[in-house]
Amino acid sequence: MRRPSTAKRPTGLGLTLILGATLALLTGAFAQEFPFERELLLDAAPMRGSKRIPGLEVSASGQATIDLWCKSGPGQVIVAGDTITIIPGAMRPAQCGPEQTRGDEEILANLMQVTNWRREGDVLILVGPTPLRFRSATN
């Protein structure tokens, strides 16, 4: 004769809750959302002699405003899950010193090589060969 088990087994409701939570995790229901419609500033100090910090603002439709150390212009951002593609448009010419010009070129090159994104608290990290960290503007 078999002894009845004293271990508790999940009830129908318990199994439903476990399966629901698993499905939610697999389908990304708890996934982080991209910070659309926010002004994001590069996590960096201003360059010597300037108060400007590079920034990025992306609309829900993917239209972007890209502000560099000196230049700025439009762009297109495509977000699919944790994958991201940034396509800068023509930057408006500006009178820049050599340090700002070099910085603009570096940021543009890094933005075009970004492949993924993630959030760590209030920080958006654009992942590529050189990760870029952005914070929401506080003004």
pLDDT tens digit sequence for 4-58: 555 555 555 443 434 344 434 443 434 589 999 999 999 999 998 889 999 999 9
35: tokens are 């910070």
Where are the chain's structural domains?
39-136
Exposure of 38 in the CB half-sphere (CA atoms within 13 A): 15
pTM value is: 0.76
Tell me: the pLDDT tens digits for 55-66? 999 999 999 999
Class at the top of the CATH hierarchy for domain 39-136: mainly beta
Tell me: the pLDDT tens digits for 99-114? 999 999 999 999 999 9
CA-to-CA distance for 53 and 50, rounded, in angstroms? 8
CA-to-CA distance for 5 and 118, rounded, in angstroms? 46
